[in-house]
Amino acid sequence: MPFHTNRRLFLTNLAAAAMAKPLKAAQRQPWDEIAPYFKPPKKWRDKLGKYRSPLLFNDGSKVKTSKEWTRRRTEILKNWQDLLGHWPALITNPKVQVLEEKRRENFRQLKVRFKWTPVEFTTGYLLIPEGKGKRPAVVTVFYEPETAIGLGKNPHRDFALQLARRGFVALSIGSTETTNNRTYATYYPSINNATVQPLSMLGCAAANAWHVLAQRPEVNAGRIGIVGHSYGGKWAMFASCLFDQFAAAAWSDPGIMFDTRPSVNYWEPWYLGYHPKPWRKRGVPSPDNPARGLYPKLLASKHDLHELHALMAPRPFLVSGGSEDAPHRWEALNHTIAVNDLLGVKDRVAMTNRPDHSPNKESNAVIYKFFENFLK
């Protein structure tokens, strides 16, 4: 089963999210702190930009009911599957090897190894807080897994550590080997003949990490989220949009839409511009150094990432915006709000904004409150 497309389970999740979550969320103290971020500023309210509505079928007819949205959602997902390449079968019963275990603060830290694609193993860190009973959990993604557990060089990227301190089970994963050799992603079946765009394949790897968490006795499988910053933000976005078992997601300044800003670089061969080596020179596409692979085809066919965002509905997501995702991104996010309106749910799409790309204490505090509100 390449992508998770179980229609009955999707409808069950839809009904539960629409009926139960809003009541529960509104009663929780964290909601008071994050509620303002679910309202677009007046300047951007109801602005939809020039993007094609995800509520239009491929033939141009309009989605009018939640039942029709289920059909349209399947259509969007298939469109993107066909464009990105189909995932291999997910590893639903993963074998996890514990390489090392130590005590830290209020949690156990396990260094673990498992297969995250059919042809690759990865090493990450599982943080398990003290206490009994099933906990919410979050997958954290970045260039390497040490940063999220607090062992990185840059501040405010320690998502797994901070979430474990707050009672979440956290699984930190990263693309260490390919980061070191500057190919950055994961390639299936090989870097010389990838049949799935590398960014999508990272999403597949995260979906397999979801299964690692879901089988843990300490984890409530219905309350697993995902978070990442920058490269990790792109990764978390594609994973949560394409795999509907992530119950909530936070994307820190990934560049949520196609753009020509140097850091919103979906054209690179390790994201959506894969082509066999030798690779194009890194950098913004130009006549002398054009984008190759899928990326220019996506632009030519007017596809953009708000279509993927819509696959999140009615699941909640937060854009922790910085220099790459400024307030004008509400024009794209309003399309997912429109889908949620059709489904009869409110307060599922949020964005914070800061001037810098790097996360800070204040922007991360909202991420943690977001997960406390929707997963606990």
- SS3 sequence, 88-103? CCCCCCCCCEEEEEEE
Of the two residues 8 and 324, the one the predictor is more confident about is 324
Could you tell me if residue 24 is inside a domain?
yes
Q: pLDDT tens across 215-270, in order? A: 999 999 999 999 999 999 999 999 999 999 999 999 999 999 999 999 999 999 99
Can you give the CATH number for the domain in which 280 is found?
3.40.50.1820
- CB proximity list for 260: less than 8 A, separation 6 or greater: 284
> Has this prediction a pTM greater than 0.85?
yes
Structure tokens at 215: 């089988």
Q: Which two tokens stand for residue 146?
A: 């040490």
Q: Containing domain of residue 368, as a range?
A: 7-375
Q: Which residue has tokens 């800003």?
A: 261
| Alpha carbon distance 236, 269 (integer Å) | 18
Residue 109 lies inside a defined structural domain of this protein: yes
How many separate domains does the chain show? Answer: 1
322 part of a folded domain: yes
Beta-strand pair 248-252/317-321: parallel
- Residue spans of alpha helices (H) in 64-186: 66-84, 159-165, 176-180
Is the residue at 2 inside a domain? no
Q: Tell me if 118 is assigned to some domain.
A: yes
Q: Is position 1 within any domain? A: no
Please work out, in degrees rounded to the nearest 5, the angle formed at the alpha carbon of residue 224 by the alpha carbons of 361 and 139: 55
Q: What is the pLDDT of residues 92-125, one digit of tens each?
A: 999 999 999 999 999 999 999 999 999 999 999 9
